[in-house]
Amino acid sequence: MGLRKERVKLIMGTMRGKIAVVTGGLSGIGKACSLAFAQQQCTVVILDIQDEKAEETIKHCREAGGDAVYRNCNLLEYENIKSAFQFIEGTYGRLDYAINNAGFGFPPKPMDESTYEEVRTLYGINVQAYSMCMIHELRMMKEVGFGRIVNIASGTGLIANKGYSMYSAAKHAVVGMTKAAALDYAKDNITVNAIAPGTIETELVASLKFQAPEAYEQAKAANPSGRFGQPWEIARVALFLCEADSSFINGAIIPVDSGGTAGK
Ligand SMILES: NC(=O)c1ccc[n+]([C@@H]2O[C@H](COP(=O)([O-])OP(=O)(O)OC[C@H]3O[C@@H](n4cnc5c(N)ncnc54)[C@H](O)[C@@H]3O)[C@@H](O)[C@H]2O)c1
C-alpha cells in the first residue's frame, strides 16, 4: 500500500486528534460546532474576532474532551485569513475538517435602500471569506488526500425572503460554490457539503424574546414546528458530515429547518 493510501486509512478512523477549523466558532452555531468537534477529541482552531469570548469557549472545549486554539482573524481581511492557514499548516501540518460558518446579514430592507458599504461587507464575509478559506482548506486537504468541508449557508440560500436581496444572493453563492467544489474534489477523497439552517435560536434571536416579543413569537410560529432550531441541532449535522459514515454525501445542501423550506 502506498504512503498516501496508508495515510488516508490512518485518518479515516476515529475523529480523535483530528484538526478542525471553525470560522466564527465563538458564538451561536459556530460555538456549538466548536464544542461538538471538541467532544470528539478533535483540536479545534477557532477563527473569530471576539477576543473576550475566547477563554470561555476554549475552557468548554477542553472540558468536553478536546482542545481548542483561538486565532483572532478578521475574515474581511485576506492577510488575516492567509496567516491563520499558515498557522494551521505550520503547527499541525494538515487540516481534516473545516466548518465555514462566520457570516451575517443586515436587518431586512428593500434593495434600493442598501449602501455600497453594506454590499461590500455582506459579500465580503459571506462570499469572499468563504471562498478564500475554502481555497486554503482545499489545498491542505488535497495534499493529504482527505478532507471534509461543511459550509453554513441558509434557508435564504435556497428560497428568497423579502427584504434580504443581498443576503439571499450571498447564501445562494455559498450553495453554488459548495456544489461546484464538490465535483472538483470528489476524487481527492474530499467532500464539500452545506447546511441550510432555518431560524436558529442564537443569542441574537433569543434577545428578541424580551426586546421584541411580538416579532419573536411571529418568527417562531412561522416555522412548521412552531419553534426555533437550536445551535446544537446544526452542529450535530455538521459533525455527521465529517464522520466516516457520511463519506458518500457530497455536494449536498441539507436544510435543517423542520420543513421551513419544504413547502416553498
Ligand atoms: N442564526 C440563524 O438563525 C441562522 C439561520 C441561517 C443561517 N445562519 C448562518 O449561520 C452562520 C452563523 O450564524 P449565527 O447566528 O451563529 O451567528 P453569530 O452572530 O451568533 O456568530 C457568528 C460568529 O462569526 C463571527 N464573525 C463575524 N464577523 C467576523 C469576521 N469579520 N471575522 C471573523 N469572525 C467573524 C462573530 O464574532 C461570531 O462569533 C452565519 O453564516 C449565518 O448567516 C444563521
* Neighbouring C-alpha atoms within 13 Å toward the C-beta of 21: 33
| Set 70, 97, 164, 167: catalytic member | 167
- Choose one of 158, 200, 220 to mutate for the ligand 1 pocket test, by most ligand atoms within 8 angstroms of C-beta: 200
Q: What is the dihedral of CA 24, 30, 34, 36, to 10 degrees?
A: -170
Q: What is the dihedral of CA 244, 133, 194, 95, to 10 degrees?
A: 10
Q: Whose CA is nearest to atom 1 of ligand 1?
A: 200
* Ligand 1 lining (C-beta closer than 6 Å): 24, 26-30, 48-50, 73-76, 101-104, 125, 152, 154, 197, 199-200, 202-205
- The answer to whether 198 and 223 have CB atoms below 8 angstroms apart is yes
> pLDDT truncated to tens, each residue of the chain (264 aa)?
454 555 554 444 589 999 999 999 999 999 999 999 999 999 999 999 999 999 999 999 999 999 999 999 999 999 999 999 999 999 999 999 999 999 999 999 999 999 999 999 999 999 999 999 999 999 999 999 999 999 999 999 999 999 999 999 999 999 999 999 999 999 999 999 999 999 999 998 998 899 889 989 999 999 999 999 999 999 999 999 999 999 999 999 999 999 999 988
User: Considering the domain 3-201+232-247, what is its CATH architecture?
Assistant: 3-Layer(aba) Sandwich (3.40)
